[in-house]
């Protein structure tokens, strides 16, 4: 995998080295992306039939988030510095689109997580401690998409996404965790007629995480728990010869998607994707012991409709994810020279189901090519989480409905332009409840779910604003951006603000 | 319209997949049967056992009581379990603890487990504090006082026991010669089953008159008066007017003019006396053993047994198996360490205490092993006086807040 890095990086940066056809302002970039039928899909092959304008981009962004209105395992405060590079190029008949990002993330006030780089709601098997700590993370994120015509009506594509992550918890019990993620999506696009396109893509994802917990102060063992889901835990500790050692998360996902697009008086693109796979959680490779397995099924559907010379855009998205938590009953066979944990039963113990749907519309006023004068739009979204631990019965359920309105305007200032955007939103909690049915009422994991349900049960309002000043000089556009956001709980307490400063160059 | 229908169809497909869910995990049933086949036939069997099954991976435990020797546990998560069976029966002042266990029970499917139980006999009643050595009432060698001896007996169990019929006795008179050069032997079949005693004092009652609840104690005094009086033991002694029982037959005037008063404490009965009868019960201030027992057969105050190798008194035999508790002491440690230097057989108690002197006003009290959630103390009882007792500079009646039985209406 390490050899792949320079290859992918060079492909990603080929867009930079290739001679761009012209620079674009951030507003024009936004139109390019929002009006592209294929940039947000799995079908790289279709780029041959709907090519993007050539561009190149390098930039750096610093951001800060702070506030207590957040899920329990999210950092109380987070600072990140990101360097990005992106671009596309045509090499012969081959179209290439790539991007690279390096992120350095400094988190503080992280709780309820000892060993996972990025906790997710549907991974119940990890180590939990209640010592709020800082985390330092780094990510190398590379993606390249390629499209190659096979015939005049058939194209092949490949989408490869590679991420390398490393993180370190800064307080005992501390962990160093390494993550490697590779996602490969080959695709085909067939355009039998001028207006219609049919596509298919396949997905293979391999994700590997290794986390090693330890104590800097080796004299004091640190109490932890091994979580099973929704507050159920097994007591454990980190330290000494018999404390917890390394955890391994190995995930395989397989799937595919079907695509259809129509381009005539209006443009329509539909995508239906299905994924399934599993994640194995193992403890200590020297005597591997299963800590659990999750099995996931995910269905995504989206549709994009553009009309009125693409001035109008309507996008609908929905996904459904069902994850099962499987626990294994194991016995230690301590035969001399052949010690091993033997699985004698597997039990489906927990479910983590989520459904989300959203509908978004925007209209561009004064659209001329990729530029417009001002825009307005709105978005509604719905989300539902329904989790259950089967024995003893515990549940974690919430439902939210939200709406957002936004508007943007471009102002010309001599050779430069100012692009301003603002939005307000309101989220309403329709229900939220956590019930722990077990007997370990002093489990520290219960606090995690209680904080989470307080977050997901709170109504909130948010405002966002951004301003980007762009100066174009000799086909190069320099952009200085400032963003800010504030979210406040309306029922309950807490707020969270975010701010970001960015500088990038389009060419 | 077509566009909206297409979007709705996609969402409906997603919803349809949500119904294709795996069923939840199966549950298992564990049936536990208590196997009493290894218990002695004469033992009192519990009506019910408490059975606990514990998932060894999650440490989650479920408890149930047996009916007709069986307990069932339904809807358990498949796994490896440990099974424990326990019961406690209190009978005739004794506590019988029944226990059995089975580990690594594979319950990945329904399982039937038989757990064999064994029984151990423990005494619900234990000596909690004994004060035997007397005290000094002046500077002279003979300025000593010994009438303030007392024996506090505590209910160490979780069940109410009855003090009716309990007996106290000592062993020094019939154990060995004064220098322990001759250990007396008695003409009786299987002498290793018995202890041989001179005097036995018994608590009266019809069997239900004197209940002692868990955490309560009864105090048996030689003489239940206030011995701190200037005419008696003075300030170095102790007030025993709160004692429950006293080992006297009634008010008596001694040859030296001392009047042994009959106090509110209940008079015990001297049911065995093989030799010269004293008006009150005097126990050795230096070397002796006190024994608490519940006779399994009536005690006969005649036809005593004589030693075959010396001794000045006949003896009454009491079954070692009737002994509930016993404490022994020697004045000097080295005497107790000699071969034959202790009065009690090792199976009754393996240790002893020593004060190093007599008339020092010190007492022995049993150590607290732990305290129950209700605040009652559980005292250590390993059948080893050396480990189980500690020495106090002054005796205290009902130390550590031991309870007073409800029928004792004269204790302030």
The answer to whether residue A272 neighbours chain B at the CB level (below 8 Å) is yes
Could you read off the pLDDT of A21-79 as tens digits, one per residue? 557 888 888 888 898 899 889 899 999 998 888 889 999 999 999 999 999 999 999 99
Residue pairs between chains A and B whose CB atoms are closer than 8 Å? 82
Closest Cα in chain B to A359:
B7
pLDDT band at B13 (very low <50, low <70, confident <90, very high): very low
Could you read off the pLDDT of A127-154 as tens digits, one per residue? 999 889 999 999 999 999 999 999 999 9
B107 CA to chain A: closest CA distance, Å? 9
Q: Which of A329, A348, A438 sits opposite B79 (nearest CB)?
A: A329
Which chain B residues are within 8 Å of A313, Cβ to Cβ? Answer: none
Nearest to A129 by CA among A268, A259, A235: A235
Q: What is the per-residue pLDDT for B373?
A: 86
In angstroms, the CA B27 to CA B109 distance is: 8
CB-based contact A301 B14, cutoff 8 Å: yes
B18 in Cβ contact with A320 (< 8 Å): yes
Mean pLDDT of B303-331: 88
CB-based contact B13 A353, cutoff 8 Å: no
Rounded to 5°, angle at Cα B326 from B164 and B346: 140
In a mutagenesis test of the B interface, which of A290, A347, A390 is the best target, namely the one with the most B β-carbons within 10 Å?
A347
Here the tokens at position A466 are 């951004």
Q: Which of B13, B58, B108 sits opposite A344 (nearest CB)?
A: B108
The answer to whether residue A446 neighbours chain B at the CB level (below 8 Å) is no
The answer to whether residue A345 neighbours chain B at the CB level (below 8 Å) is yes
CB-based contact B17 A299, cutoff 8 Å: yes
Which chain A residues are within 8 Å of B14, Cβ to Cβ? Answer: 299, 301, 318-320, 355
Mark residue B379 as left, alpha or beta (left: phi above 0; alpha: psi -120 to 50; beta: remaining).
Answer: beta
| Higher per-residue pLDDT: A167 or B338 | A167
* Three-class SS of A363-429: EEECCECCECCEEEEEEEEEEEEEEEECCCCEEEEEEEEEEEEEEEEEEEECCEEEEEEEEEEEEEE
Helix, strand, coil percentages for chain A (3-state, nearest 5): 10, 65, 25
Mean pLDDT of A492-507: 94
Mean pLDDT of A284-307: 94
In angstroms, the CA B389 to CA B330 distance is: 14
Mean pLDDT of A466-482: 91
CB-based contact B17 A439, cutoff 8 Å: no
- Which range has the worst mean pLDDT, A63-67, A318-322, B103-107, B324-328? B103-107
A45 in Cβ contact with A190 (< 8 Å): no
The answer to whether residue A349 neighbours chain B at the CB level (below 8 Å) is yes
CB-based contact B7 A316, cutoff 8 Å: yes
Could you read off the pLDDT of A200-247 as tens digits, one per residue? 999 999 999 999 999 988 777 788 999 999 999 988 888 877 788 899
A13 in Cβ contact with A6 (< 8 Å): no
CB-based contact A303 B78, cutoff 8 Å: no
In angstroms, the CA A138 to CA A131 distance is: 22
- CA–CA distances in Å: residue A478 to residues A58, A288, A349, A409, A421: 10, 53, 54, 18, 18
Here the tokens at position A359 are 């509908």
| Higher per-residue pLDDT: B199 or A240 | B199
Which chain A residues are within 8 Å of B3, Cβ to Cβ? Answer: 268, 303, 305, 314
CB-based contact B17 A297, cutoff 8 Å: yes
B115 CA to chain A: closest CA distance, Å? 21
Could you read off the pLDDT of B269-301 as tens digits, one per residue? 999 999 878 878 989 998 999 999 999 888 999
Could you read off the pLDDT of B218-258 as tens digits, one per residue? 999 999 999 999 989 999 999 999 999 999 988 888 877 88
Which chain A residues are within 8 Å of B13, Cβ to Cβ? Answer: 272, 299, 301
* Three-class SS of A146-196: EEEECCCCEEEEEEEEEEEEEEEECCCCEEEEEEEEEEEEEEEEECCCCCE
Q: What is the per-residue pLDDT for A334?
A: 65
Q: Which of residues 12-41 of A touch B (CB under 8 A)?
A: none
Q: What is the per-residue pLDDT for B396?
A: 96
Mean pLDDT of A192-197: 92
What percentage of chain B carries pLDDT values higher than 90?
47
Q: What is the per-residue pLDDT for A492?
A: 81
Q: Which of A314, A391, A440 sits opposite B27 (nearest CB)?
A: A391
pLDDT exceeds cutoff 70 at A274: yes
Rounded to 5°, angle at Cα B319 from B315 and B320: 110
Instruction: Give the best-scoring range by mean pLDDT among A84-93, A175-184, B325-334.
Output: A175-184
Which chain A residues are within 8 Å of B1, Cβ to Cβ? Answer: none
CB-based contact B10 A301, cutoff 8 Å: yes
Could you read off the pLDDT of B138-174 as tens digits, one per residue? 888 788 999 999 999 999 998 899 999 999 999 988 8
ipTM entry: 0.71
Could you read off the pLDDT of A317-331 as tens digits, one per residue? 999 999 999 999 888
Q: Which of residues 413-442 of A touch B (CB under 8 A)?
A: 438-440
Here the tokens at position B411 are 């204790």
B68 in Cβ contact with B91 (< 8 Å): no
Rounded to 5°, angle at Cα B83 from B80 and B87: 170
Here the tokens at position B17 are 């997949």
pLDDT band at B323 (very low <50, low <70, confident <90, very high): very high
Mean pLDDT of B17-30: 62
Here the tokens at position A189 are 């696009």
Could you read off the pLDDT of B298-315 as tens digits, one per residue? 899 988 998 888 766 689
Which chain B residues are within 8 Å of A316, Cβ to Cβ? Answer: 7, 10
Q: What is the per-residue pLDDT for A218?
A: 77
Q: What is the per-residue pLDDT for A507?
A: 84
CB-based contact A347 B104, cutoff 8 Å: no
B105 CA to chain A: closest CA distance, Å? 11
CB-based contact B10 A270, cutoff 8 Å: yes
Q: What is the per-residue pLDDT for B127?
A: 97
- What is the length of chain B? 412
Q: What is the per-residue pLDDT for A228?
A: 94
CB-based contact A270 B80, cutoff 8 Å: no
CB-based contact B108 A329, cutoff 8 Å: yes
CB-based contact B10 A351, cutoff 8 Å: no
B24 CA to chain A: closest CA distance, Å? 6
Q: What is the per-residue pLDDT for A336?
A: 63
In a mutagenesis test of the B interface, which of A329, A392, A438 is the best target, namely the one with the most B β-carbons within 10 Å?
A329
DSSP per position, B164-217: TT-EEEE-GGGTB-TTSS-B--B-SSSGGGEEEESEEEE---SSSSSEE-TTBE
In a mutagenesis test of the A interface, which of B2, B4, B7 is the best target, namely the one with the most A β-carbons within 10 Å?
B7
CB-based contact A391 B77, cutoff 8 Å: yes
What percentage of chain A carries pLDDT values higher than 90?
74
CB-based contact B25 A391, cutoff 8 Å: yes
pLDDT exceeds cutoff 50 at A491: yes
pLDDT exceeds cutoff 80 at A13: no
Q: Which of residues 320-339 of A touch B (CB under 8 A)?
A: 320, 322, 324, 329-331
- Which range has the worst mean pLDDT, A123-132, A446-455, B312-321? B312-321
Q: What is the per-residue pLDDT for B38?
A: 83
Q: Which of B10, B13, B58 sits opposite A234 (nearest CB)?
A: B58
In angstroms, the CA A108 to CA A76 distance is: 6
Which chain A residues are within 8 Å of B110, Cβ to Cβ? Answer: none
CB-based contact A353 B18, cutoff 8 Å: yes
Q: Which of A316, A320, A347 sits opposite B78 (nearest CB)?
A: A347
In a mutagenesis test of the A interface, which of B17, B58, B103, B106 is the best target, namely the one with the most A β-carbons within 10 Å?
B58
B19 CA to chain A: closest CA distance, Å? 10
In angstroms, the CA A174 to CA A132 distance is: 11
The average confidence (pLDDT) of chain A is 91
Q: What is the per-residue pLDDT for B15?
A: 46
Mean pLDDT of B395-399: 95
CB-based contact A303 B3, cutoff 8 Å: yes
Q: Which of residues 292-321 of A touch B (CB under 8 A)?
A: 297, 299, 301-303, 305, 314, 316, 318-320
Closest Cα in chain B to A266:
B3
Which chain A residues are within 8 Å of B22, Cβ to Cβ? Answer: 324, 348
């Amino acid at each position: 995998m390490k050899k792949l890095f320079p290859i992918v990086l060079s492909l990603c940066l080929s867009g930079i080295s290739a001679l761009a056809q012209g620079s674009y302002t951030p507003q024009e970039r936004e139109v390019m992306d929002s009006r592209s039928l294929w940039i947000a899909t799995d079908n790289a092959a279709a780029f041959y039939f709907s090519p993007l304008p050539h561009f190149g981009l390098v930039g750096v962004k610093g951001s800060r988030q702070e506030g207590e209105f957040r899920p329990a395992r999210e950092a109380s405060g987070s600072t990140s510095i990101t360097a990005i590079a992106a671009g596309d190029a045509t090499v012969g008949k081959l179209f290439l689109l790539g991007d690279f990002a390096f992120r350095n993330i400094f988190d503080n006030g992280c709780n309820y997580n000892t060993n996972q780089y990025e906790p997710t709601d549907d991974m119940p098997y990890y180590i939990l401690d209640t010592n709020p700590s800082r985390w330092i993370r780094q990510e190398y994120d590379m993606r390249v998409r390629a499209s190659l015509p096979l015939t005049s009506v058939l194209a092949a594509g490949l989408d490869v996404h590679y991420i390398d992550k490393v993180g370190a918890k800064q307080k005992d019990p501390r962990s160093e965790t390494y993550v490697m993620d590779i996602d490969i999506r080959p695709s085909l696009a067939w355009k039998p007629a001028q207006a219609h396109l049919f596509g298919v893509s396949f997905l293979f994802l391999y994700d590997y995480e290794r986390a090693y917990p330890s104590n800097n102060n080796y004299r004091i063992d640190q109490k932890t728990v091994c979580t099973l889901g929704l507050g159920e835990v097994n007591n454990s500790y980190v330290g000494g010869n018999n404390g917890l050692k390394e955890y391994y998360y190995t995930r395989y996902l397989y799937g595919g998607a079907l695509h259809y697009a129509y381009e005539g008086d209006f443009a329509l693109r539909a995508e239906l994707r299905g994924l399934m796979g599993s994640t194995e959680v193992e403890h200590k490779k020297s005597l591997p012991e299963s800590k659990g397995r999750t099995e996931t099924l995910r269905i995504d559907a989206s549709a994009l409709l553009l009309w009125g010379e693409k001035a109008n855009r309507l996008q609908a998205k929905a996904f459904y994810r069902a994850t099962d938590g499987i626990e294994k009953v194991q016995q230690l066979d301590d035969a001399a020279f052949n010690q091993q944990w033997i699985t004698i039963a597997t039990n489906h113990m927990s479910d983590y189901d989520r459904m989300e749907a959203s509908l978004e519309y925007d209209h561009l006023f004064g659209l001329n090519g990729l530029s417009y004068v001002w825009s307005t739009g709105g978005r509604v979204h719905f989300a539902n989480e329904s989790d259950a631990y089967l024995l003893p019965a515990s549940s974690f359920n919430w439902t939210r409905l939200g709406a957002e309105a936004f508007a943007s305007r471009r102002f010309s200032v001599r050779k430069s332009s100012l692009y301003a955007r603002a939005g307000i939103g309101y989220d309403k909690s329709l229900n939220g409840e956590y019930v722990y049915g077990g007997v370990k009422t002093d489990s520290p994991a219960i606090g995690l779910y209680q904080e989470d349900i307080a977050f997901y049960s709170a109504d909130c309002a948010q405002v966002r604003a951004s301003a980007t000043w762009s100066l174009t000089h000799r086909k190069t556009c320099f952009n200085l951006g400032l963003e800010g956001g504030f979210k406040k709980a309306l029922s309950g307490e807490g707020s969270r603000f975010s701010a970001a400063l960015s500088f990038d160059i389009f060419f | 319209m077509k566009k909206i229908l297409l979007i709705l169809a996609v969402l409906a497909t997603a919803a349809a997949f949500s119904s294709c869910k795996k069923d939840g995990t199966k549950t298992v049933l564990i049936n536990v049967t208590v196997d009493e086949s290894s218990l002695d036939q004469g033992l009192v069997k519990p009506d019910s056992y408490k059975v606990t099954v514990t998932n060894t991976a999650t440490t989650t435990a479920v408890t149930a009581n047996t009916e007709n020797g069986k307990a069932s546990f339904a809807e358990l998560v498949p796994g490896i379990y440990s099974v424990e069976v326990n019961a406690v029966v209190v009978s005739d002042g004794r506590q019988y603890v029944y226990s059995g266990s089975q580990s690594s029970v594979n319950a990945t499917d329904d399982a039937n487990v038989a757990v064999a139980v064994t029984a151990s006999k423990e005494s619900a009643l234990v000596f909690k504090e004994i004060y035997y050595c007397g005290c000094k009432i002046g500077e002279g060698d003979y300025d000593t006082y010994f009438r303030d001896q007392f024996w506090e007996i505590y209910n160490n169990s979780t069940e109410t026991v009855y003090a009716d019929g309990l007996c106290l006795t000592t062993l020094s008179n019939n154990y060995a010669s004064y220098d322990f050069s001759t250990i007396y032997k008695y003409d009786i079949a299987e002498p290793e089953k018995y202890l041989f005693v001179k005097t036995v004092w018994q608590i009266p009652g019809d069997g239900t008159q004197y209940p002692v609840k868990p955490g309560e104690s009864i105090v048996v005094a030689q003489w239940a008066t206030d011995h701190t009086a200037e005419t008696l033991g003075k300030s170095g002694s102790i007030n025993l007017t709160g004692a429950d029982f006293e080992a006297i037959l009634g008010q008596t005037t001694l040859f030296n003019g001392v009047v042994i008063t009959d106090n509110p404490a209940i008079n015990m009965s001297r049911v065995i006396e093989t030799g010269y009868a004293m008006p009150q019960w005097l126990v050795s201030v230096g070397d002796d053993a006190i024994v608490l027992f519940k006779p399994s057969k009536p005690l006969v105050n005649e036809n005593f047994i004589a030693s075959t190798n010396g001794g000045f008194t006949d003896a009454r035999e009491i079954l070692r198996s009737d002994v509930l508790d016993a404490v022994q002491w020697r004045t000097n440690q080295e005497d107790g360490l000699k071969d034959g230097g202790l009065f009690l057989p090792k199976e009754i108690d393996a240790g002893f205490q020593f004060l190093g002197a007599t008339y020092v006003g010190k007492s022995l009290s049993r150590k607290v092993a732990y305290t129950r959630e209700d605040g009652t103390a559980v005292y250590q009882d390993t059948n080893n006086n050396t480990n189980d007792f500690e020495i106090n500079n002054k005796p205290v009646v009902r130390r550590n807040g031991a309870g007073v039985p409800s029928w004792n209406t004269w204790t302030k």
